[in-house]
A = this chain, B = another copy of it.
Amino acid sequence: MVKKELSEEEIAECIPDLWQPLTQAQKDYLAQNFTIQKYKKNETIYCEGETPKHLMCLLSGKVKIFKDGVGGRSQIIRVIKDKEYFAYRAYFADENFVTAAAAFEPCTICHIPMTCIVKLLQENTELAMFFIRQLSVDLGIADERTVSLTQKHIRGRLAESLIFLKDTYGVEEDMCTLSIYLSREDLANLSNMTTSNAIRTLSNFASEKLITIDGRKIKIIDEEKLKKISKIG
Contacts and interface: CB of A to CB of B under 8 A. Distances in A.
B133 A94 contact: yes
A67 interface: yes
Contacts of A151: 69-71, 73, 75
A188 B48 CA distance: 30
8 contacts: A71-B233, A75-B146, A93-B136, A98-B140, A98-B143, A122-B129, A132-B132, A149-B150
A143 B142 contact: yes
Contacts of A172: none
A206 interface: no
A53 to B, nearest CB: 15
Contacts of A156: 70
A146 B93 contact: no
A90 interface: yes
B152 A70 contact: yes
